[in-house]
Structure 1
């Protein structure tokens, strides 16, 4: 077994991996950006190394910085968690090539084969795993999209080869949209996954999203650990996940599970992974009815890493998936047979995101956890990294925690969920706890007849607003919070972090320095896009178009002097791992463009001026 593992991630998943390591007697190493120097995963680790500025591309996505930290710390393995570099085959290959360091995950070759969707589709087709009608080679032009639509019908999904979670996917509903959406999918794929290749699929209008957890060792043993139903989604992003699926018969469940095993075996897959499927929902199905073995299901993709919702499977099976990731990477053989895997009861995971569901799920732009008191009791698990008094870091994703609830059956699980969510006390930041509590009163969700389109197409926004008013919390920071003196001081020597704990009672607030040198007590790093407090000077006349969120500029689509119409795209902003078009609210002439491609911006920053 390994002696020291570097966790190439942050937040709750980093802490989750570190806890597994601790139980196996393994020391842990954290990496962190300037924005994360006080984050929970840094506190939890045995050692921590600064790997760069707040911008993810300069820190958590910096291959060289991560590997250098592993070598400096003497780590003999790297666990990527999920997100960031977890599905980056090039990074996995770099780790594999580093002497004395083991990659905790499938091989880089397997990641490349299954991570690129066209290659994965070919592999699944050859393994007799059903695939959605589509292309198995990258599409080269928008004309191919139109030809595909003429043959298979609209809508058509354009998907980035390296994409996932809706990122890099665009929907074409008629031939006139093909050019714009094709270019957008390529651009998003290049920006997020360093791969502009896209492929085409028939877009299923009302599917269920069902995924199968796989664990495989290097000795030829492949096991599936049952399925999870992730159909409650918003804009292709999962919100609530549960297992087993409330919609499947045992016969259909077994068919899907065995298809996943066949696919993993054919791909020579090792370590943990998830095989995702779309299941055709019967629009006439009523509560209590189940989808039988005659139901069509199609392979969607493989996530060559641990999933956010792996906790659901752990609660159902009693199998610690992260520990098995480490054991398999160390060369150990699985000690349980497929027949030993049994699903006990029902489990649901609620993503506790720092978002306001009533404001179109807008992510929080800052704040402090003035109160943070998670629930407990039988059948309740909370995976988190933040603690009361922590500042919310908004440079990355919006997840604060994951609440996982188990019950002997789905009815008990949902009832227990009501109790746990009511106990979850958070103040200082918005969360989507009110939304989750609403879902537990929603007939479609409680009946298990919802599809991936339910939230986007059918949920009444007024119900969400009412839930926010009923169960939401105040988010304004108090004046007293602004005067709190920092008590945790950080010193870095050769990039390695050391903490000095010092209590300053009744002392004046330490001033934040404006230099760019090493960190010192009381100093706080500049946020992404902050240039030492300078503001954009508006030179052009007219109405300013400002950023509604923190993010990175992917492209600037206008220049000074251009004439624009209402609805024209001015810039494309990446925020919360999604591509957002910033459009003109009225027509006019562009008098100033205040940003460039690659710039980081904060909420309220001026992007464009239109007169």
Structure 2
């Protein structure tokens, strides 16, 4: 087993991996950005290294900075968690090439073969795993999209090769949308996954999302740990996952699981991974009816990493998947046979996102956890990293915790989930806990007849607003208004030098000596230019950022004429693209930002006269 593992991630998954390491007697190393310097995963780790500024591309996605941190710390393994670099074959290869450091995951070659969606489709097709009609080579021209539509019909899904969880996926419902959606999918793929290659698939209108957990070692042993049903989604983002699926017969369940095992064998896959499938739902199926063995299902993608919802499978099987990952990476053989894998009871995972569910799940723009009192009791598990008093970091994903509930059967699991969510007390930031409580009283969800389209197309949005009114705490607290002063000191302890950052809130500035005499330190963040914002120096109406994020695209230039409602730039926040539009028509007199700039809420983006 390893001596020290660097966890190349943040938040709850970083803490989850560190806990597994601690139980194995392995030391842990955290990496963090400037935005995360006070984060929970930094507190939990044995040691921590700063890898860059808040923008993910300059910190958590910086290959060299993360590898350098591993070398400095003397880590002999790197665990990527999920997201960020977890499915980046280039980064995996860089770790594999680093002397004395082991990559905790499948080989870089396997990641490239299965993680890139077009390669994965070819591999699955050759392994006799059913695939959705689509392309197996990257698409670059809008004409290819319209030609595919002419042959297979609309709608069409354009998907980023390195994507997952709906990131980098756009739906084309007619030929007039091909150009815009292709460009958007390529842009998201580049921004999130360092890969702008995309491919096409026929877009299924009423699917269920079923995934199979795989664990394989380097000795040729492949095991599946049952399936999870992830059909409750909004904008292709999962919100509640459960297992086993409430919609499948045992015969269909086994067909899907065996297809996943065939695919893993064909790819020479090892470590943990998830094979995802779309299952054609019967729109006339009644509560209590199940989908039979003759139901069509199609391979969707392989996630060559741990999944957010791996916790569901852990509760059902009693197998610690993260420990299994570490043991496989260390060269150990799996210690259980396929026949020994048994699923007991029913489990659900509720993503506790800092979002306004009643406002189209818009991410929170800030706040502080004034109260944080999670539930407990039998069958209740909480994976989180935040603690009461922590500020909400809004530079990354909106998920702040995961509530996992296990029961003897689905009925008990639903009742226990209702109790646990009612106990979960959070104040200072909005969460989607009220939405989850609504779902536990929702006829389609309780009956298990919902599909991936249910939330976006069928659920009455007024019911979400009513749930938020009944159970929600929408107030977002903000950090203290007093000025925050920061100083840097160099201190020595037993001959070893340490750089120390000191924050002072609400106190008078203390001069620090330098060659030119006293100097007043700048408040944290510096001036507008240093923090990525800009002040308006042109006359007119300012279009400002409604949330903190990164500028992905600027669609106007100085001198352009715009109309009310025209898109002036695209802002990425919480891994979602947001169109920033002009509230009035006129002439653009100033463009204050450029592609790749980080902005704060209230920063001026464009000025229109």
Give the TM-score normalised by structure 1. Answer: 0.93
Q: Please report how far the alpha carbon of residue 303 of structure 1 lies from its aligned counterpart in structure 2 after TM superposition.
A: 0.5
Q: Which residue does 1:231 correspond to in 2?
A: 231
Q: Which residue does 1:155 correspond to in 2?
A: 155
Q: Please report how far the alpha carbon of residue 566 of structure 1 lies from its aligned counterpart in structure 2 after TM superposition.
A: 3.9
Q: Secondary structure at the match of 2:607?
A: strand
Q: Write the mapping of 1:84-99 to structure 2, written as runs, cut at 5 A.
A: 84-99=84-99
CA contact (8 A) 2:533 2:598 kept: no
Q: Please report how far the alpha carbon of residue 22 of structure 1 lies from its aligned counterpart in structure 2 after TM superposition.
A: 0.6
- 2:556 is equivalent to residue 558 of structure 1: yes
Alpha-carbon distance between aligned partners in 2 of 1:255 and 1:55, rounded to the nearest angstrom = 43
Pairing partner for 1:595 from 580, 593, 596: 593
Q: Which residue does 1:446 correspond to in 2?
A: 446
Q: Please report how far the alpha carbon of residue 181 of structure 1 lies from its aligned counterpart in structure 2 after TM superposition.
A: 1.2
Q: Please report how far the alpha carbon of residue 478 of structure 1 lies from its aligned counterpart in structure 2 after TM superposition.
A: 8.1
Q: Which residue does 2:525 correspond to in 1?
A: 526
Q: Please report how far the alpha carbon of residue 526 of structure 1 lies from its aligned counterpart in structure 2 after TM superposition.
A: 3.0
Q: Deviations over 1:20-46 (max 9, x none)?
A: 001111111111111111111111111
Q: Secondary structure at the match of 1:272?
A: strand
Q: Secondary structure at the match of 2:392?
A: coil
Alpha-carbon distance between aligned partners in 2 of 1:224 and 1:230, rounded to the nearest angstrom = 17
Q: Secondary structure at the match of 1:404?
A: strand
Alpha-carbon distance between aligned partners in 2 of 1:130 and 1:108, rounded to the nearest angstrom = 25
Alpha-carbon distance between aligned partners in 1 of 2:404 and 2:236, rounded to the nearest angstrom = 21
Alpha-carbon distance between aligned partners in 2 of 1:258 and 1:372, rounded to the nearest angstrom = 43
Long gaps (5+) in structure 2: 515-520
Give the TM-score normalised by structure 2. Answer: 0.93
Alpha-carbon distance between aligned partners in 1 of 2:321 and 2:478, rounded to the nearest angstrom = 42
CA contact (8 A) 1:490 1:497 kept: no
Q: Secondary structure at the match of 1:181?
A: helix
Q: Which residue does 2:74 correspond to in 1?
A: 74
CA contact (8 A) 2:484 2:524 kept: no
Alpha-carbon distance between aligned partners in 1 of 2:95 and 2:491, rounded to the nearest angstrom = 25
CA contact (8 A) 1:48 1:497 kept: no
Distance 1:478 1:196, change over 3 A: closer
Q: Please report how far the alpha carbon of residue 579 of structure 1 lies from its aligned counterpart in structure 2 after TM superposition.
A: 2.1
Distance 1:280 1:491, change over 3 A: farther
Distance 1:598 1:492, change over 3 A: farther
CA contact (8 A) 2:249 2:293 kept: yes
CA contact (8 A) 1:514 1:532 kept: no
CA contact (8 A) 2:106 2:272 kept: yes
CA contact (8 A) 1:511 1:523 kept: no
CA contact (8 A) 1:513 1:523 kept: no
Q: Please report how far the alpha carbon of residue 598 of structure 1 lies from its aligned counterpart in structure 2 after TM superposition.
A: 0.9
Q: Which residue does 2:141 correspond to in 1?
A: 141
Q: Which residue does 1:100 correspond to in 2?
A: 100
Q: Please report how far the alpha carbon of residue 49 of structure 1 lies from its aligned counterpart in structure 2 after TM superposition.
A: 1.1
CA contact (8 A) 2:367 2:429 kept: yes
Q: Secondary structure at the match of 1:192?
A: helix
Alpha-carbon distance between aligned partners in 1 of 2:180 and 2:492, rounded to the nearest angstrom = 49
Q: Which residue does 2:245 correspond to in 1?
A: 245
Q: Secondary structure at the match of 2:213?
A: strand
Alpha-carbon distance between aligned partners in 2 of 1:402 and 1:393, rounded to the nearest angstrom = 17
Alpha-carbon distance between aligned partners in 1 of 2:509 and 2:246, rounded to the nearest angstrom = 53
Alpha-carbon distance between aligned partners in 2 of 1:510 and 1:222, rounded to the nearest angstrom = 61
Alpha-carbon distance between aligned partners in 2 of 1:508 and 1:461, rounded to the nearest angstrom = 42
Alpha-carbon distance between aligned partners in 2 of 1:306 and 1:497, rounded to the nearest angstrom = 38
Distance 1:446 1:108, change over 3 A: same
CA contact (8 A) 2:528 2:534 kept: no
Alpha-carbon distance between aligned partners in 2 of 1:408 and 1:75, rounded to the nearest angstrom = 41
Q: Which residue does 1:125 correspond to in 2?
A: 125
Distance 1:574 1:535, change over 3 A: closer
Alpha-carbon distance between aligned partners in 1 of 2:555 and 2:483, rounded to the nearest angstrom = 43
CA contact (8 A) 1:110 1:267 kept: yes
CA contact (8 A) 1:89 1:108 kept: yes
Alpha-carbon distance between aligned partners in 1 of 2:492 and 2:456, rounded to the nearest angstrom = 49
Alpha-carbon distance between aligned partners in 2 of 1:224 and 1:11, rounded to the nearest angstrom = 27
CA contact (8 A) 1:47 1:497 kept: no
Q: Which residue does 2:546 correspond to in 1?
A: 548
Distance 1:359 1:51, change over 3 A: same
Alpha-carbon distance between aligned partners in 2 of 1:125 and 1:508, rounded to the nearest angstrom = 61
Q: Please report how far the alpha carbon of residue 253 of structure 1 lies from its aligned counterpart in structure 2 after TM superposition.
A: 0.5
Q: Please report how far the alpha carbon of residue 474 of structure 1 lies from its aligned counterpart in structure 2 after TM superposition.
A: 5.3
How much is the aligned-residue C-alpha RMSD, in angstroms? 2.8
More divergent stretch after superposition (225-234 vs 461-470): 461-470
More divergent stretch after superposition (135-144 vs 223-232): 135-144
CA contact (8 A) 2:554 2:595 kept: yes
CA contact (8 A) 2:355 2:361 kept: yes
CA contact (8 A) 1:552 1:575 kept: yes
- 2:425 is equivalent to residue 411 of structure 1: no
Q: Write the mapping of 1:212-231 to structure 2, written as runs, cut at 5 A.
A: 212-231=212-231
Q: Secondary structure at the match of 1:469?
A: helix
Q: Please report how far the alpha carbon of residue 290 of structure 1 lies from its aligned counterpart in structure 2 after TM superposition.
A: 0.7
Alpha-carbon distance between aligned partners in 2 of 1:216 and 1:514, rounded to the nearest angstrom = 60
Long gaps (5+) in structure 1: none
- 2:367 is equivalent to residue 367 of structure 1: yes
Alpha-carbon distance between aligned partners in 1 of 2:560 and 2:499, rounded to the nearest angstrom = 53
CA contact (8 A) 1:105 1:305 kept: yes
Q: Which residue does 1:32 correspond to in 2?
A: 32
Alpha-carbon distance between aligned partners in 2 of 1:531 and 1:296, rounded to the nearest angstrom = 56
Q: Please report how far the alpha carbon of residue 497 of structure 1 lies from its aligned counterpart in structure 2 after TM superposition.
A: 11
Q: Which residue does 1:343 correspond to in 2?
A: 343
Q: Please report how far the alpha carbon of residue 540 of structure 1 lies from its aligned counterpart in structure 2 after TM superposition.
A: 3.6
Alpha-carbon distance between aligned partners in 2 of 1:525 and 1:87, rounded to the nearest angstrom = 34
- 2:466 is equivalent to residue 466 of structure 1: yes
Alpha-carbon distance between aligned partners in 1 of 2:523 and 2:64, rounded to the nearest angstrom = 25
CA contact (8 A) 2:352 2:403 kept: yes
- 2:602 is equivalent to residue 604 of structure 1: yes
Q: Please report how far the alpha carbon of residue 580 of structure 1 lies from its aligned counterpart in structure 2 after TM superposition.
A: 2.1
Q: Please report how far the alpha carbon of residue 461 of structure 1 lies from its aligned counterpart in structure 2 after TM superposition.
A: 1.6
Q: Secondary structure at the match of 2:160?
A: strand
Q: Please report how far the alpha carbon of residue 545 of structure 1 lies from its aligned counterpart in structure 2 after TM superposition.
A: 1.9
Q: Please report how far the alpha carbon of residue 511 of structure 1 lies from its aligned counterpart in structure 2 after TM superposition.
A: 6.2
Q: Please report how far the alpha carbon of residue 563 of structure 1 lies from its aligned counterpart in structure 2 after TM superposition.
A: 2.0
Q: Secondary structure at the match of 1:195?
A: coil
More divergent stretch after superposition (185-194 vs 172-181): 185-194
Q: Please report how far the alpha carbon of residue 513 of structure 1 lies from its aligned counterpart in structure 2 after TM superposition.
A: 9.4
CA contact (8 A) 2:532 2:599 kept: no
- 2:281 is equivalent to residue 300 of structure 1: no
Q: Write the mapping of 1:254-269 to structure 2, written as runs, cut at 5 A.
A: 254-269=254-269
Q: Write the mapping of 1:308-457 to structure 2, written as runs, cut at 5 A.
A: 308-457=308-457
Alpha-carbon distance between aligned partners in 1 of 2:148 and 2:220, rounded to the nearest angstrom = 39
Q: Please report how far the alpha carbon of residue 492 of structure 1 lies from its aligned counterpart in structure 2 after TM superposition.
A: 9.1
CA contact (8 A) 1:170 1:185 kept: yes
Q: Please report how far the alpha carbon of residue 534 of structure 1 lies from its aligned counterpart in structure 2 after TM superposition.
A: 8.9
